[in-house]
Structure formats: C-alpha cells, structure tokens
A and B are shown apart, each in its own frame.
Chain A
Amino acid sequence: MQGDEPVPPEVVNAVFHGVSVSDAAAILVVERVGGTARVTWSNGRAVDFLGYGLEDLRSAPFEQLLPSLGRSELKLLLRRERAVRMTLPVRLASGATLECIVSAVPAPVGRRWTVRLISTANEQERALRATADAHERRFSTLTERSPVPTLLSEQGMRLAHVNDAFCALVGRQAEQLLGTGWMTTVHPDDLDTVIEQAAVVLDGGEGEAQARLVREDGAVRTTVIRFSHLFTPGVGAGFVGTIEDITERLAFEARLAHQANHDPLTGLPNRTLLAEYVAARFLPGHSDLACIFLDLDNFKVVNDSLGHAAGDELLVELAARLRETVRPGDLVARFGGDEFVVVCEHVDEADAVALAERVGEALRQPVRLGGVDFRPAASVGVTVQTPEHAAAEELVRDCDIAMYQAKAGGKNRITVLDQDARAQARDKLRLVADLRDAIERRDVTLMYQPIFDTVEGTAVSVESLARWVHPERGPISPATFVPLAEESGLVGGLGLLVLDETCRQLAAWDAQLGPAAPERANVNVSALQLDPNLPGQVASALHRHDLLPARLSIELTESALMTDPAAAREVLLQLRDLGVQVSIDDFGTGYSSLAYLRHLPVDCLKVDRSFVAELADGHSEITSAVIALARNLGLCTVAEGVETLEQAQQLAELGATFLQGFGLAAPLDGASTGDWFAAQHDSLDPAGPALPSRPATAATPARPATPATPTPEPT
C-alpha cells in the first residue's frame, strides 16, 4: 500500500500493463453482480492456465471454477474487508482439477476482487517435494531395515517412529511403543536417567544413557541409548535414539572380572579381590576389622600321597565348609595354595577368635579322599585391627605372621598376633628396606683377609668379606644380612656388588703395588646366585676391570652345590672354561657325595674352621683326611680359622696348600690390605721366604692393627 497519496495514472497504467502481459501468474478480476460472482477480466496467462476462451470465462459463474466451495462458501474467499488466501482445487477447461493457491484481494471500493491463481504443483515445488519425499523414504528405509534398534522422537519423549530392530529387542509391536509407550519398556530405576539424557539432547546437547530394557517376556536387556538432536524447522526439536544391546558384552566383562578376582578351583575371591576388599573397608584408627589366616597343615602330604586331584578335592571341600561357617557378610578368600583368609567386620578380638575356633572345628571334620578318611587341620592366625595398622595390607600381613607363629608353635592351633611378633616383623621389614638402600648406594663394603701359601709362607691371595655398617644400628653381621638378602630377593644385587667391588679393588692394587699385589681374590657366591647367569656376570666384572680370569676364585658352599648337582656342574664347567678358579667352602660340613665331588670341576677345597679347631684338641683325623682326599683328587686346600702358629705349622705338615685365619692376618679394608701387601713385599728376603715353619714371620711384621670394627664372617 502506498498510503493515501493518489497513484499517478501513468503508474497505474504501467502496473496494469505488467499484470496483463505477465506470464508468472494467472490473474482474474471477479465482480459480484446480483448475488453472482463472475469473471470480468483476465490476463493472458489465466486464459492459458485455465484453458477456457475469454468469453466462456466471462459468461460462467466464478464458483464453477472452484468446485469444492459450496455456493454459500464463496463468501469465505471473496471477503470485503480483507484479503484471503486458500488452497483449493480449480476446475480447468479440460475437466481436470488442479490444486492452486487462490488469493483474493478486495478492491477498495465496490464489489470487485483481484484473484490470483498459482498451482501448488509448480515445477520447482514438485521437484523439492520429490527430493524431500526421496529423503524421507531413504531415511525410513534405512532405519526400518537397519539392524540397529532406532527410535525417533517427534516431541519430548513421544516417539513417532520405532524400527523393527527395536520392536524385536523389546519383544513388542510398534503400536505399543509409539507415543510414550516405549517408556514402559525402560526399567523403572533407569527411566530417570533416560529422560534426563533425552532432555539434554532435546535442548540441543549430546547424551547417552545406559538403561535396562524389559522385554514383554520379562527378560532384561542392558543397553546403551545414544541420543542425537533432531531439529525440524517450523516444527521443533526431537531426537533420534540408537540402541546398543550390551547385555552379552557386560556378561562377558563380568565373567572376565570374576575370573580375574576369583580362584577358578574353589570359586572363592582370590588375593587380588581380598586386597581390594580389605582396602575398601579399612579405616585407619578404627578397630572393628579382623582377618583370620588359615594354612592347612600337611597339605603337601595329601598332594604327594593321594595326588593333586585329591588335593584339589580337599581344597574345594574346605572352601565350602569355610563359606558355610563364617557369618553372612564375612569374606572368605583363597590366598594361595592351601591358604585361606576370612575377613570380618564389626568384631573384637574375642569375636574373631571365636569365629576362628568355629572355622577350625569345621575344618577338622574328616574328609574322605580316595577311599581314605583324612582329618584336615589348619594353623590359624588372627589379627584384629589396631591403631598401629596404618594400611590395609598390614592387617593381612600381620595375620599371615600370626599363622606362621601358629605353625611354628606346633600346627593345628590358633594364634593371635601379639605386639612383640608384630614389632619383630616390622623391624625385619625395615631392615630389608635399609639393606636394599645400602646395596644400591654401595654402602655394603668389603674387607679382605689374606690367605697364605704354606710353601712360600707368604700371603698370596685374599678372601673378600662383605661388611654392612647400619647408620643407626651399627655393624650388622653377615650372618644376619646375608640370609635376609636371600629371603627378600636382594642376594643377586649383593653378589654383583661383591664381585664388582672385588675386581675393582684387585685392579687398584695392581696399579698401586704391581707384582706385590695379591695374586687372587676369593669371592663367595650364594646358592641362589648359582644359575646360568653367573659365568656371564663374572666375565663381565673381569672385563670391566681388565683382569685375567685366574685372578678370581669363586667360593661355593657344599650345600649350594648339592642342591642340584647337575645344574651346578654346568655352571662350574663354564666358570672353569672361563679360567676362573672354583673352591668348595666349608668342606666336610655338608653331606656331599664323593662321587659327585669327583665329577665337579673344582680346583680347591676349603677345610672348615671346626675341623681346624679340633687340631688343638689333638684331633687331626678329619683335617688330614680332607687334605689327603683333596690331594688324591688333584685339588688344593685352604685351611680356614687358623688361630695359632702351632695350628699353621701342623696344617703345613699335613699338606694343606693355603692357610687363612685370624691368627695369621685379620680382614682389612681395601687400602689397608694394599699397605699390608706392600709391607710384606718390602720385608721379603730376596732369596725367598721360609716355609711353614715361619708363616707368622711373613704375617707378623706386616700385620697392621686389628680393624676397629668387628670382623665380618665370610659371606
């Protein structure tokens, strides 16, 4: 509208001309005369569009063009006060009808309307609709046949569409699921989460929910529903939900988790689960948690005599009894082979002991295994949490200690861990930790004890002896720390330290003393080191310090060699091939088979100090027998623990090759040993020293002051 300002006639003419020749829209002018509306004018396009001749168009009532309008309804279209737009079928001259948008605009005065007809089915629209239909069809085909259960929400949680896969998943028909019907399939406990996530997605976010769907037949499927936002312009927001059935996957994961946490034989929780269980319930400072540790007595006997199947049967039976005996809520776990742990909450010591007694009683009932009645028994350790327990694992460890006390106390009994035992165990743990640090920092040092040649009467070699001075506890005896290292897996590191440090020291003496340096150093090797790695470790230590193999002698105890003589022989052969000497330490104290001894590639036997000590009492039988034996096998001998010159003399006469002992020379640190050997060298008669008659001569002038620290025993 241009407002009230009159439009110049030339503009009116221009517009009229434009309309009359336009081929964009069919325009008619309709006039109501005497109650009948007739077409009084039309443009060319209208004539073409409708197919009537101009005269036919003008002569017929306008309503004939609009067959769907009843007579009185024409006024709905031809309104005087406003323009109206309707979608109506229009009758064409051919007799066909064509749906059109019919717009009628009333003229400002009089009873005339300009009517515009536009087919709704124009080409562009048809093309658009076809595309849209194709999209819709593709989408519905895609979801309909998709194996992925799919929901399509139209509004809120109301579904407009579910596919066959979803119907199959919940075992219902689509009609039951549309609208909010599908919500009844969601497990009531999960429905809130589902709605919450759907709400997030409807609001434009992203969401997924794990939800159980309840099938018509009552079966429950666990699923993940992933929602995507769906916006339709002019309509609003909905969502597409795709559902993944994870029931089988979860079951599989649960099985795996169960397997990881349970013992397959007895079905009991295993050590891993036990640790998690105790940790989850452990509150430092509280004292209502208790552990009962059970170790079957003589289980090995069952396994060895009746076979492993019978052993397994016994374990399964006892596991069942344990489960039946404990209180509801107590945990029974299989800790290891024949070890079980019961964890109880809200108990004091009396309760825990009472339960342990009940459990012990239940276990003692006879079991028939392979036709034999077997009466099981267990050593039982009980620990109740105390304020001293700082962590969950300490509780389990303490009841393990208590169980060992029960076992040590004579089996088939219950022991409650007392403070002393706990303190001892803790002390040992701390010492292990300190030893580990000491080895890492090379705080374990070496002392060297000279070894004398009975022929020359001079010291020719040394034995390396490990020494550990604890920063707080002072010197720790090798008799304490070597077994500790063996128990706690530190012996490998300790052995390597001794080997490397000895080689380093030999090289240092070579540099310092030249020909006066000790010819050889004896290094003790633990039974636990006697494995195929040993020759390589020895070789690399020698190589590292540029030493000939003959400079080392490896000392092994008799018992170490006899644990697995065949394997020991292999290792010894390799050592010998390397060119390293091998000695058997403490010879005569074990139960060596002489037959084995003959086959072992050994160079030297060390006569144990206990036999040497007997010389003073006039008993020289064993010493002389050992020396004779060695000589007959072509081996040299080292007599240990020589305290007096008399003993030295006697041993030389018996034919011992070498002598070692406090009476001749005490162990010294590396530097002092160097000085000692230098002094010995300087004092030697160029013509050569005297023989056994004066071993002390060689030792005495050169013997430095006794070390301030107590002498370590050989490692």
Chain B
Amino acid sequence: MTASLAAAPTFDLERVLASIDRMAAQRPVAAQIVSVANSDEASAKELSRILSADLALAGRVMKLSNSAFYGMRGRVSSLQFAVTVVGFTTVRTMATVALTDLDDESRLPGSFWDVSTSLALAASTLAPRFGQRSQDALCLGLLAQLGVALLFHNDPEGYAQLEAEAPTAAGRRLAEVHRYGISALRLTAVALEQWGFPAAMVAPLTAFDDLQSTEGALLRASFEIVHRMTVDGHEDVPMAELTLGRMTDREVLPILEQVRVDAVELRRALLED
C-alpha cells in the first residue's frame, strides 16, 4: 500500500496556500476579524461591530459565550459583551473556522471535530502547568488540525486513504510529508502565521516534532491525551518524555474525564446553529 501514498501528482502545495487567500474573499467579515482581532487597537466594540455583519458567525459567538464553558449562565445578551467574554483570540479562531469552512463537517474527516474539541480542552486544561494562557491554548487546539482540513479539502480521497493506512500520529505525519511535501501540522502553522496569529500560537506547531523544545510540549501532551481517548490500540507515549518532565502519566486520568465531559458541550456551542 505504500505505493499509493506516493506524492499525489495533482497536489500542489502552492495552490492550497493560494486557496487560503481566496477564502478571505468569500467570507470578508470573517477575514476582517482574522486580520484585526489581535491587534493592540482591537476592542470588543470594534470587533462586535464588524462581527454583526456576519449573522451566522455572530450567533455562534453569542452561543459560545453563554455556554457552560465560560460559566456565564446565559447572562451574555449583547454581542459586544460576548466578544469580551470569549476573548479576541477566540473570536478570531471562530472566524478562522468559518473562513476555512471547518464548520462544514461534510468536507472533513469524520473524527475531525471530536479530535479538535478534545484537543482544545486538553490544551486549555493543561496550559497553566506549562505557563501558557488557557485561552490561547484552547484556540490553538481548535485550529491545530486546520492543515488536515486544508489537505482534505484538496484531496479528500487521498487524505482519507492516508488516514486509514497510517493510524498512528507519527506515521500519519510522515505519510503527509511524503504525499504532500508538508505535514498537516506544519501547514496549520504556515496558515496561522500568514494570518498573523500571535507567535505564541504558531511556535508550538512549529516546534511540535522537536522533543527538546518546551514550546511544543503542551501541544504534544494534548495530542497524546486525545489519542489515548480516541485512537483504538494507541500505544501510550510516556508523558514525561513528551513534556520534558513537566507532566507524568499519573496526572492524565482526571484530565481525560474532564475533557470528555466538556468536549460535547464545546462542540455543541461551536458548531450547532
């Protein structure tokens, strides 16, 4: 089967990257949010003003802000306050989700959002141990698989086959590089950097495979937790090894439970209309 994983002759990385630019033209409001959300001048007032032109996106932000995840218990009644509650980076993340059609599950691998929400919650839960902001970690988790989506959008059959034939995470990354010349994770980093997401969100993606880097440790640990939850026959990699000793396997169990419970709620808030 290895032969089938050869580089797809039709796949053109440049075309994929170019498609990112085209997406912006199709969802101008989302694109505008993505471009201004994290500037120092950004304000809840300005973001909500822009957001109000995209009813679907605005509705999702409202819904998320009132979800159990933020603990506001339905007290968020204005869009501006919703933006305040979820934070600018989250608004931007949601705009990115809309911009890249990540909310259209028919165009994604079946496990995409289960993995993404679990990853987001795992990263957000673990973030304080790694000295990271939970909110950034949540957003990073939600968007980490953006590269997967982009690859899938451009090569649905090929990627599905790749996924089936390389069930382990490391194996899949190798297969992605082999077939597309770039791993999905790396592609995510490129896209986020291109859209000007803060370095704190890009660096963990770039440093993911460098086991000596502390920057990649949180994301590695989060992926490991999600794999333990979702992949049958997953061979556990010791947490201490992935995190340069910052976490041990003993700490994983309570986090697994918490992530499982919250992921359903987060997914509902993010995707359902």
- Point out residues on A near B: beta carbons under 8 Å: 68, 70, 72-73, 75-76, 79-82, 84-87, 154-158, 160-161, 174-175, 178-180, 183, 191-192, 195-196, 199, 202-203, 233-237
Contacts and interface: CB of A to CB of B under 8 A. Distances in A.
Contacts of B168: none
B190 A76 contact: yes
Contact of A234 (B38, B75, B86, B181): B38
- Please report whether the interface of chain B is mostly helix, strand, loop or mixed according to DSSP: helix
A632 to B, nearest CB: 99
Contact of A179 (B41, B134, B193): B134
A76 B14 CA distance: 8
A509 B207 CA distance: 117
18 contacts: A70-B182, A72-B181, A87-B193, A87-B199, A156-B86, A160-B134, A160-B135, A175-B128, A179-B124, A180-B69, A180-B70, A180-B71, A192-B73, A199-B72, A203-B81, A234-B38, A234-B40, A235-B135
A235 B128 contact: no
B125 interface: yes
Interface in B93-136: 124-125, 128, 133-135
Q: Nearest 9 A-B pairs (CB), nearest first?
A: A157-B71, A72-B181, A156-B70, A236-B87, A180-B71, A156-B85, A233-B40, A155-B87, A234-B38
B71 A236 contact: no
Nearest to B67: A156
B52 interface: no
Nearest to B251: A175
Nearest to A203: B81
A191 B76 CA distance: 15
Nearest to A238: B87
Contacts of A192: 73
Contacts of B199: 87
Contacts of B194: 84
Contacts of A80: 14
Contacts of B202: 87
A32 to B, nearest CB: 13
B220 interface: no
A160 B83 CA distance: 18
A81 B19 CA distance: 12
Contact of B125 (A81, A87, A179, A191): A179
B81 A202 contact: yes
A87 B202 CA distance: 9
Given A75-B13, A235-B88, A237-B84, A156 B71 contact: yes
B186 interface: yes
Contacts of B88: 234-236
B83 A236 contact: yes
Given A87-B203, A157-B70, A195-B73, 12 more contacts: A70-B182, A72-B13, A72-B182, A76-B182, A79-B14, A154-B134, A155-B135, A156-B65, A158-B70, A196-B75, A235-B38, A236-B88
Given A178-B128, A180-B68, A236-B44, A160 B133 contact: yes
A381 to B, nearest CB: 55
A237 B44 contact: yes
Contacts of B84: 202-203, 236-237
B42 A234 contact: yes
Nearest to B84: A237
B72 A82 contact: no
Q: Kindly state the interface size class of chain B when it binds its partner.
A: 35 or more
A21 B239 CA distance: 51
Contact of A202 (B85, B125, B203): B85
B145 interface: no
Contacts of A175: 128, 254
B89 interface: yes
A86 B182 contact: no
Contacts of A237: 44, 84, 87
Contacts of B4: none
Interface centre among B68, B193, B202 (most CB of A within 10 A): B193
Contacts of A180: 68-71
B54 interface: no
Contact of A155 (B81, B85, B203): B85
B17 interface: yes
Contact of A154 (B17, B42, B44, B135): B135
Nearest to B199: A87
Nearest to B71: A157
A158 B125 CA distance: 11
Interface centre among A70, A158, A195, A203 (most CB of B within 10 A): A158
B46 interface: no
Interface string B1-33: 000000000000110011001000000000000
B90 interface: yes
Nearest to B255: A175
A240 B70 CA distance: 16
A155 B86 contact: yes
B72 to A, nearest CB: 5
B71 A195 contact: yes
B211 interface: no
Nearest to B66: A156
A79 B134 contact: no
A596 B198 CA distance: 106
Contacts of A154: 87, 133-135
Nearest to A156: B70
B244 interface: no
A269 to B, nearest CB: 40
B2 to A, nearest CB: 19
A206 to B, nearest CB: 15
B75 A195 contact: yes
B35 interface: no
Contact of A85 (B17, B181, B193): B193
Contacts of A157: 70-72
A645 to B, nearest CB: 102
B161 interface: no
B69 to A, nearest CB: 7
A236 B254 CA distance: 30
Contacts of B125: 178-179
Contact of B128 (A81, A86, A161, A234): A161
Nearest to A199: B75
Contacts of A72: 13, 177, 181-182
A464 B173 CA distance: 121
A236 B89 CA distance: 8
B230 interface: no
A180 B72 CA distance: 10
B39 interface: yes
Contact of B72 (A76, A81, A86, A156): A156
Contacts of A84: 194
B206 interface: yes
A155 B84 CA distance: 8
Contacts of A178: 125, 128, 134
Given A76-B182, A234-B88, A236-B44, A160 B128 contact: yes
A75 B86 CA distance: 36
B70 A76 contact: no
Contacts of B181: 70, 72-73
Nearest to A196: B75
A347 B134 CA distance: 63
Nearest to A76: B190
A73 B182 contact: yes
A70 B189 CA distance: 14
Contacts of A203: 81, 84
B26 to A, nearest CB: 17
Given A154-B133, A235-B135, A73 B186 contact: yes
Nearest to A157: B71
Interface in B141-177: 177
Contacts of A155: 70, 85-87, 90, 134-135
A80 B89 CA distance: 30
